[in-house]
Homo-oligomer: A and B are copies of this chain.
Amino acid sequence: MGSRDDDSQSTEGQGYAADINSIREAQARIAPYVHKTPILSSTSIDAIAGKQLFFKCECFQKAGAFKIRGASNSIFALDDNQASKGVVTHSSGNHAAAVALAAKLRGIPAYIVIPKNAPACKVDNVKRYGGRVIWSDANMESRESIARRVQEETGAVLVHPFNDKYTISGQGTVSLELLEQVPEIDTIVVPISGGGLISGVALAAKAINPSIRILAAEPKGANDSAQSKAAGRIIKLATTDTIADGLRAFLGDLTWPVVRDLVDDIIVVDDNAIVDAMKMCYETLKVAVEPSGAIGLAAVLSDEFKQSSAYHESSKIGIIVSGGNVDLRLLWDSLYK
C-alpha cells in the first residue's frame, strides 16, 4: 500500500483513509472505465424478506465485480513515471482480474500473484485481460512475500486489494451510485472481507445521509470482522473455511477504523444460507451471483437479522451484489450434491 503518495492516513475529517471528496474524485476519474450498474428488484423476494430490497448489481460490472472501481482509481491516479513499470497485486480473483483490466486500459504491465486455490473462472479472467500470472500458495504470507519479490524485481507499484486510500475511494463509488438511483434507502448491506468495499460504501453513504444504517454480511467460516468488532481490535484467524472465496481476507489498518466506527452491525451467515441465496438469485432475480455476492441477501433473510432491532427499523434496503464470477459447476455442486 502507500503507492502514489503517502497521505493515506492524513485525509480530511475524522482521519479515515478516504472521505466523500476522495470518493467523488474517484467517481470522476473512473467514469470512462466502469459501468453504472443497474438496480434490480423482485416483489417475490420482497415478500419473502418482508422488506423492499434494491439489489445493486455489481455482478454486471466490468470484469464481473465491483473491484474494477478501486483498481482503475488506483491505476489511473499513478503518474506516468510510476505507471511505466507496471503494477502488481495478489488476489484470489476478482481484484486480480480488475487490476489486469485496468492496467490493460492504461497500457501498462500487470503482475498478478494468484493463490493456487482460486476458482478457475477468475484465473481465466486475469489471463483474458492480459495479466501475467504468478502462482503462490493459498496462505496470505506466501501471497504477500511473492508480491513483494515481484515489486523489488520489476519496480511495479502494488495495488492493494483493500488497504489503500485509492482502492477504498474507488469502491465507495458504488455507494454514490446506489444513493443516486434509490435515494430513499435507509439501510445498506455489504459483504465484508478485507473491508475495502464496506469502508468506501460507509464513508460515502454516511456523508450523504448520516442516519443511514450500514450492515456487513460475513461468512461464519471467516468471521474475523465480527470477532474484531466484538474485541475492539483487529482479529486474524488461523484458517478460514467458506464457499465465499472472495471473503477470506482480514481487515487492514486502514479499513478497521471505518468498520469499527461506521459499520452498525455484522450479520454472520453459514454457507448453506449463502448457497440458498445464490439459488434464489438465479431462479428469481435471474442473476448469476457468486457466493460472496449472494451473502447480502442471505444476511437479510437470516433469523439473526429478523430478530434484530435493525430489522424493525429498516424499510428500504440496498443490497450490494458484489460479483458474479462463479463456476457454473460450483453452483451446481453446491445445490445438488
Contacts and interface: CB of A to CB of B under 8 A. Distances in A.
Interface of A: 35, 38, 40-41, 43-44, 57, 59-60, 62, 64, 121, 128, 279, 282-283, 285-289, 324, 328-329, 331-332, 335-336
A19 to B, nearest CB: 31
Contacts of A41: 35
A31 to B, nearest CB: 16
A45 B60 CA distance: 13
Interface residues of A: mostly helix, strand, loop or mixed? helix
B40 A60 contact: yes
Contact of A279 (B44, B328, B336): B328
Given A279-B328, A286-B289, 10 more contacts: A38-B40, A57-B286, A59-B286, A64-B286, A282-B288, A282-B328, A287-B287, A328-B331, A328-B332, A329-B336
Interface centre among A59, A286, A336 (most CB of B within 10 A): A286
Contacts of A44: 128
A286 B283 contact: no
A288 B59 CA distance: 12
| Copies held by the complex | 2
Nearest to A286: B324
A62 B331 CA distance: 25
A322 to B, nearest CB: 12
Nearest to A40: B60
Given A283-B288, A288-B287, A335-B328, A62 B43 contact: yes
Nearest to A323: B286
Contacts of A279: 328
Contacts of A329: 336
A128 B283 CA distance: 14
A285 B332 CA distance: 18
A57 B288 CA distance: 14
Contacts of A331: 328
Contacts of A283: 121, 288, 328
A95 B307 CA distance: 39
21 contacts: A35-B41, A38-B38, A43-B62, A44-B128, A57-B286, A59-B286, A60-B285, A60-B286, A121-B283, A279-B328, A282-B288, A283-B288, A286-B287, A286-B288, A286-B289, A286-B324, A287-B287, A328-B331, A328-B332, A328-B335, A332-B332
A181 to B, nearest CB: 11
Contacts of A121: 283
Contacts of A128: 44
Contacts of A335: 328
Contacts of A328: 279, 282-283, 331-332, 335
Nearest to A331: B328
A324 B287 CA distance: 9
Nearest to A282: B288
A332 B279 CA distance: 13
A192 B288 CA distance: 26
Q: Which of A43, A62, A287 has the most chain B CB atoms closer than 10 A to its own CB?
A: A287
